[in-house]
Structures are given as structure tokens and as C-alpha cells.
């Protein structure tokens, strides 16, 4: 008998930004007990699992992506005991749980970095990070020209223990996120023990933060500023693949668990992405090429085709996503001018955080259409919290409220990522829209990022009772996806639509997914069968006219 396919191959996973999901103790900060209390929302939504953004002890400079201790829980979020309780509860509900592993860098408060600062240049403690002497007179210039993803240089100079100006250390992100030296075996050993610590506790996998960044070019040479990112000495070094070969062996050693590792890999070429998905490396990696496309049929089709082709060539399945905690929300992105070409940049996600006017009606139509398209594709899907409510990005957070280091390091040029991290609205008429408990002795809690008044209209309680809401569409779609599009469903075949290059259609066995990106209605051919679900009304005198800016699912199998 052959084993059933691994659960993650066609799973829908919901990304929980713990800090902003639900607050149980009234400090205005989401926590694990708050998530436990609201886990029913994910169960009724119909997802297969959840991925938690980092919830380890952290100074929270980059909200958990600056880890001070990899084997404990951030006190503001709970304890190992509250984590165990959450995990048990998730498993009781049949939900898988993934954590977020941050192996490229730690917090400057991590004991290893503190020890490195206290040690001599050239010492073993310093060799766990990337310390180098500066260039120029007095070593006053950074060792090379690498920029930080968050803006400014990727190097910061330290003061040596004797008070003299000292060496520089590398940080691809914030200065308080020093990069590990992955060519030092201590680092690999540390992370293997971290993987085992959490796998032994019972989690179902990890999302791997900046998985293409761990191993740098050994000489740390200047980058040619004209070269594509994938060829820069900062990213995607071939030696990084050895790390994932070792990790895959560890994951596989937990027989019968189907543990997954999902890479966050922003490389411009899908061929390079596919290399990480070879059978002895990562089971999964996000396919970001679709996320960065405008809502244009030709662009979407090209991205889907290329992802499926190259990822299938290494025997893997595509992990689709249109949203996460680093990019503007889909309603906002798709409500902007879709002809804006996303320029190349040191931070490939920066183009998804454009400013400019937003047509909310357009954004909502496209975002509803987009989720139905995504859920009909072969592979797994990751959804970011709040997308199921159709929440727009909060674009007008005052600078004083913003917390993302990108805002400060870019001198305010980049709006940063706070606008998709505003605490969720659960109840339209409660203080903090039900994010924190209402009955605190000192009055209502203040959420860590301010919620705009209009969040009330997107609250879970209202959307649950409104058949036309985003939440109703998501729930219906997730339920029907299991029946119609989940594995072992048929592979994708394109259906040509002569004269309609503003629309696309594909078949999966007896099912058809039709996506109308254009402004003209479309008459659905009778051979596509009956309508299963549509993101906007299907009307017309024959009752088979798809609206402009809508997606329709159909089937030729008689449905009950």
C-alpha cells in the first residue's frame, strides 16, 4: 500500500501574526492564550493549519525576527506551558501548527552576540558572526558596500571592550539583527538542536525566514550594483543548500510525522527557487512571483505557468500565497493602479508597498477574485490573517505610531509594514473591536498599533452574519475546495479564450476556474458545467454571465 500524500502538499495554512491576533490579558498585545480563545475562528474558517510568526523571547525590534532565545516563549505572549496548551488544542481540532525559524540572524541581545562583543577580534566567539575590520584610514569605512534590506549600510561598527573604535559586524537587516556565520559549525549545531527541540515538542513544521540568505560568499566581496539580486554575493550562495539537506534528514527522521519546512526565498529566477525544492532539500517554499504580479490576466498566467513548470521539474508542488506580514494587503494592492511596474530593489517586497490612491471597490473585486483563483490551483496555499475579512491596509498610520524598523532606516521613504499588522477587529461595537478584553479594571486596553474607526465594518461578528462578506466567501470557498480542488485532484490544463486576453481559464479534471480580470462580462460556455461558486454575481438572461472582475468555479460532475 502506498502512503497517503503528505498533508502539507495541498494544505491551506493560515498565518497568525500573534501580536495582532487576539489579546487575552489586556496589555494591548496579542498572545498565545488569546489565540487559543479564538482558535475556533480558524476551525470554522476551514483551514488545515496555522503558522505563527516568531514568538520567542525577543527585544521586539523587528517584532520577533530578532530572537534572543530560540527555545522559549516571549513573556508578553505566554510561556512554554501556554504554548503546549495551544499546540494540544490545535491538534485536538485537527489543525497543524508551524513555527517560524529565524536562522540568518539573531537579536543583538542573544547571549552569543553579547559574548562576541565582549571577546577579542579573531576570537571563536566573534567567529560565530561576521566581524571584519573596516576599510580606509583607521578602519572607518564599512568592510564592503552591502546595503541593509531595511535601508542604510549592512555593517555597524562596535566599540571594543577597551573603549577603542573596533571591528564591524554584518547585518542584512536591522543593526540589532547580527547575521550568523554559517561557515562556523557551531551555528549549524545550534540550529539542529533548535529544530529537534520544537519537533520533539510536537510541532508540524517550520517556516524558514530568509532561507536564501544564510550562507554568504566566503570573501564578502563588494556587490556589483548592476547585477541581479540572485547573483549578488549576499544571497542565494550555492553552499546554503547543504544546510537544507541536513535539515531534511532531521525532519524525515521523525517517521510518520510528515514534518514540513517552508522556505521564505525571494530569488528573481524560479529556476533558482526550484533548486531549494529538490527531493532532499526543503519540502516547500513560497512562490512569490505570483504575489508580485499586477492583476492582469497575461501576467498572472505567465507566473502560474512558470511556477508549476519549474517546480514540477524537481518533483515538488507549488506553495501559493498573495499576502503576508511584509506586504500591503491584497485589497489595497489590487485597488491601486495596476500598470505601475514594480521596480527592482534591494528589498523585493518593497514594490508591494506602493503609495498612491486606492480604489477600494476595485481592490475588493480583485481580491475576492484572487482568492478563488488561488484556491483552485494545484498545491498548497498560505493566507495571512485579516485577509479573510477583506481588510484594507491602514495606509495613514501616523509616523509616531509606526514601529517597523524599515520606516526609520529608510528615512520614511518606505511606508513599512505596520499597516497590515494592525490588531484584528472581532466585534464591531466593543472597545478595541474585541481585540483585548473589555472588562479591564483600569479601562479598555490600548492596542499596540491604533485601529482606525472603519475597522468596525470589517469585524468578524458582522461578516459572519453577512452572506456577501469576504468571510462568507472564504468559508464557502475553503469548504468547496476540499471537495473539488484538493489533492489528488487533476493537474492544471489551460483553456484558451480567443479574443479575451483580459481573462484566463484553467481546467482541473472536471472542474474549471475562470478568472475575468477585465471590465467586460463573459458568457460561460455550457460545456464547463454548472457553477459551484463565484466571487461576484453570475447573471444574464441565461444565468451564465460572469461579471467583470470576478472568478467563477464550475464543474461538469453533478453536485448534490
Q: List residues binding Mg ion (CB under 5 A).
A: 23, 25, 27, 29, 31
**Neighbour count for residue 76 (Cβ, 10 Å):** 20
Q: Is 289 in the site for ligand GLC (CB under 6 A)?
A: no
Tell me if 553 sits within 8 A of 532, measured CB to CB: yes
∠ CA 62-63-65 to the nearest 5 degrees? 65
DSSP state of 521: -
Helix, strand, coil percent content, the chain, rounded in steps of 5:
30, 15, 55
Q: Is 209 in the site for ligand GLC (CB under 6 A)?
A: yes
Shortest distance in whole angstroms from residue 105 CB to ligand GLC: 7
Of ligand GLC, Mg ion, none, which one does residue 334 interact with (CB within 5 to 8 Å by kind)? none
Binding mask 83-102 for ligand GLC (x = CB under 6 A): -------------------x
Compare residues 346 and 432 and give the one whose CB is closer to Mg ion.
432
Of Mg ion, ligand GLC, none, which one does residue 288 interact with (CB within 5 to 8 Å by kind)? none
Of Mg ion, ligand GLC, none, which one does residue 31 interact with (CB within 5 to 8 Å by kind)? Mg ion
Shortest distance in whole angstroms from residue 19 CB to Mg ion: 9
Distances (CA, A) of 105 to 62, 116, 168, 169, 379: 12, 14, 15, 12, 30
Compare residues 31 and 62 and give the one whose CB is closer to Mg ion.
31
Q: Is 244 in the site for ligand GLC (CB under 6 A)?
A: no
∠ CA 130-136-140 to the nearest 5 degrees? 65
Shortest distance in whole angstroms from residue 65 CB to ligand GLC: 3
- The torsion region of residue 135 among left (phi > 0), alpha (psi -120 to 50) and beta comes to beta
Give the H or E element holding residue 391: none
Please spell the DSSP secondary structure of 306-361, one letter per residue: HHHHHHHHTT---EEES--TTS--HHHHTTS-TTPPPPP-SSTTGGGS--S---HH
Compare residues 209 and 414 and give the one whose CB is closer to ligand GLC.
209
Which residue among 173, 426, 474, 485 contacts ligand GLC (CB under 6 A)?
Answer: 173
Compare residues 86 and 300 and give the one whose CB is closer to Mg ion.
86
Compare residues 8 and 150 and give the one whose CB is closer to ligand GLC.
150
Q: Is 56 in the site for ligand GLC (CB under 6 A)?
A: no
Shortest distance in whole angstroms from residue 326 CB to ligand GLC: 5
Burial (CB count <10 Å: 0-12, 13-18, 19+), residue 234: buried
Q: Of all residues in this chain, which one has the CB nearest to ligand GLC in the complex?
A: 65
Of Mg ion, ligand GLC, none, which one does residue 371 interact with (CB within 5 to 8 Å by kind)? none
Compare residues 116 and 210 and give the one whose CB is closer to ligand GLC.
210
Q: What does the block give as the cell for 105?
A: 540572524
Please spell the DSSP secondary structure of 179-218, one letter per residue: BB-TTSHHHHHHHHHHHHHHHHHT--EEEETTTTSSSPPT
Of Mg ion, ligand GLC, none, which one does residue 173 interact with (CB within 5 to 8 Å by kind)? ligand GLC
Compare residues 254 and 408 and give the one whose CB is closer to ligand GLC.
408
Shortest distance in whole angstroms from residue 268 CB to ligand GLC: 16
Shortest distance in whole angstroms from residue 18 CB to Mg ion: 10
Q: Is 384 in the site for ligand GLC (CB under 6 A)?
A: no
Beta bridge partners of 132: 168
Of ligand GLC, Mg ion, none, which one does residue 65 interact with (CB within 5 to 8 Å by kind)? ligand GLC
Q: What does the block give as the cell for 10?
A: 495541498
Per-residue three-class SS string for 237-300: CCCHHHHHHHHHHHHHCCCCCCCEEEECCCCCCHHHHHHCCCCCCCCEEEEHHHHCCCCCHHHH
Ramachandran angles phi, psi of 56, nearest 5°: -95, 160
Length of the chain: 560
CA atoms within 13 A on the CB side of 267: 24
Q: Is 281 in the site for ligand GLC (CB under 6 A)?
A: no
Shortest distance in whole angstroms from residue 348 CB to ligand GLC: 10
Of ligand GLC, Mg ion, none, which one does residue 209 interact with (CB within 5 to 8 Å by kind)? ligand GLC
Compare residues 35 and 265 and give the one whose CB is closer to Mg ion.
35
Beta bridge partners of 381: 12, 320
SS3 49: strand
Q: Is 326 in the site for ligand GLC (CB under 6 A)?
A: yes
Compare residues 80 and 249 and give the one whose CB is closer to Mg ion.
80
Q: Is 210 in the site for ligand GLC (CB under 6 A)?
A: yes
Ramachandran angles phi, psi of 493, nearest 5°: -125, 135
Q: Is 51 in the site for ligand GLC (CB under 6 A)?
A: no
Which residue among 56, 65, 198, 435 contacts ligand GLC (CB under 6 A)?
Answer: 65
Shortest distance in whole angstroms from residue 559 CB to ligand GLC: 40
Total residues at interface with ligand GLC (CB under 6 A): 9
511-516 β-sheet, strand order: 492-495, 503-508, 511-516, 550-555, 530-534
Compare residues 327 and 445 and give the one whose CB is closer to Mg ion.
445
* Diameter of the chain measured on Cα atoms: 84
Compare residues 440 and 457 and give the one whose CB is closer to Mg ion.
440
Q: Is 179 in the site for ligand GLC (CB under 6 A)?
A: no
Tell me if 8 sits within 8 A of 47, measured CB to CB: no
Shortest distance in whole angstroms from residue 200 CB to ligand GLC: 25
Of ligand GLC, Mg ion, none, which one does residue 29 interact with (CB within 5 to 8 Å by kind)? Mg ion
Helices (H), 13-119: 32-37, 39-45, 80-92, 111-118
Q: Is 366 in the site for ligand GLC (CB under 6 A)?
A: no
Q: Which residues bind ligand GLC (CB under 6 A)?
A: 62, 65, 102, 173, 209-210, 264, 325-326
Amino acid at each position: 500500500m502506498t502512503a497517503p500524500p503528505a498533508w502539507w502538499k495541498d494544505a491551506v495554512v493560515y498565518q497568525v501574526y500573534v501580536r495582532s491576533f487576539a489579546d487575552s490579558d489586556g496589555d494591548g498585545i496579542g498572545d498565545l492564550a488569546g489565540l487559543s480563545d479564538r482558535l475556533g475562528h480558524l476551525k470554522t474558517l476551514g483551514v488545515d493549519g496555522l503558522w505563527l510568526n516568531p514568538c520567542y523571547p525577543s527585544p521586539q525590534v523587528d517584532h520577533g525576527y530578532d530572537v534572543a532565545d530560540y527555545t522559549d516563549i516571549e513573556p508578553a505572549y505566554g510561556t512554554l506551558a501556554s504554548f503546549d496548551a495551544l499546540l494540544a488544542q490545535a491538534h485536538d481540532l485537527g489543525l497543524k501548527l508551524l513555527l517560524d525559524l529565524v536562522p540568518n540572524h539573531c537579536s543583538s541581545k542573544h547571549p552569543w552576540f553579547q559574548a562576541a562583543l565582549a571577546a577579542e577580534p579573531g576570537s571563536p566567539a566573534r567567529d560565530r558572526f561576521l566581524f571584519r575590520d573596516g576599510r580606509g584610514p583607521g578602519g572607518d569605512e564599512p568592510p564592503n558596500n552591502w546595503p541593509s534590506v531595511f535601508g542604510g549600510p549592512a555593517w555597524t561598527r562596535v566599540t571594543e571592550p577597551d573603549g577603542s573604535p573596533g571591528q564591524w559586524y554584518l547585518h542584512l537587516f536591522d543593526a540589532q539583527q547580527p547575521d550568523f556565520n554559517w561557515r562556523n559549525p557551531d551555528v549549524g549545531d545550534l540550529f539542529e538542536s533548535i529544530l529537534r527541540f520544537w519537533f520533539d515538542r510536537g510541532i508540524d513544521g517550520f517556516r524558514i525566514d530568509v532561507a536564501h540568505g544564510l550562507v554568504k560568499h566566503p570573501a564578502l566581496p563588494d556587490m556589483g550594483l548592476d547585477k541581479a539580486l540572485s547573483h549578488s554575493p549576499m544571497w542565494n550562495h550555492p553552499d546554503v543548500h547543504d544546510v537544507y539537506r541536513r535539515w531534511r534528514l532531521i525532519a524525515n527522521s521523525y517517521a510518520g510525522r510528515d514534518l514540513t519546512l517552508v522556505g521564505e526565498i525571494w530569488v528573481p529566477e524560479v529556476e533558482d527557487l526550484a533548486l531549494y525544492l529538490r527531493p532532499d532539500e526543503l519540502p516547500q517554499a513560497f512562490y512569490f512571483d505570483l504575489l508580485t504580479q499586477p492583476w492582469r490576466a497575461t501576467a498572472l498566467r505567465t507566473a502560474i505557468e512558470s511556477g508549476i513548470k519549474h517546480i514540477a521539474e524537481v518533483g515538488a508542488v507549488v506553495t501559493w500565497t498573495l499576502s503576508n506580514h511584509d506586504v500591503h494587503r491584497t485589497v489595497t494592492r489590487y485597488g491601486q493602479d495596476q500598470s505601475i511596474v514594480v521596480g527592482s530593489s534591494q528589498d523585493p517586497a518593497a514594490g508591494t508597498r506602493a503609495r498612491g490612491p486606492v480604489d477600494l471597490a476595485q481592490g475588493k473585486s480583485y481580491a475576492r477574485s484572487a482568492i478563488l483563483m488561488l484556491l483552485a490551483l494545484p498545491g498548497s496555499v498560505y493566507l495571512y490573517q485579516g485577509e479573510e475579512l477583506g481588510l484594507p491596509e491602514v495606509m495613514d498610520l501616523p509616523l509616531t505610531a509606526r514601529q517597523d524598523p524599515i520606516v526609520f532606516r529608510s528615512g520614511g521613504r518606505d511606508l513599512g509594514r505596520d499597516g497590515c499588522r494592525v490588531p484584528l477587529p472581532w466585534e464591531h461595537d466593543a472597545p478595541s473591536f474585541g481585540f483585548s478584553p473589555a472588562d479591564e479594571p483600569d479601562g479598555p486596553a490600548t492596542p499596540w498599533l491604533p485601529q482606525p474607526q472603519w475597522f468596525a465594518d470589517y469585524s468578524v461578528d458582522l461578516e459572519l452574519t453577512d452572506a456577501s462578506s469576504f468571510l462568507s466567501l472564504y468559508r464557502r470557498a475553503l469548504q468547496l475546495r476540499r471537495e473539488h480542488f484538493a489533492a489528488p485532484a487533476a493537474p492544471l490544463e489551460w483553456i484558451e479564450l480567443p479574443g479575451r486576453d483580459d481573462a484566463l481559464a484553467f481546467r482541473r479534471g472536471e472542474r474549471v476556474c475562470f478568472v475575468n480580470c477585465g471590465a467586460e462580462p463573459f458568457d460561460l460556455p455550457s460545456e464547463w458545467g454548472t457553477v459551484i461558486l463565484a466571487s461576484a454575481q453570475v447573471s444574464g438572461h441565461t444565468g451564465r454571465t460572469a461579471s467583470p472582475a470576478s472568478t467563477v468555479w464550475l464543474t461538469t460532475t453533478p453536485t448534490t
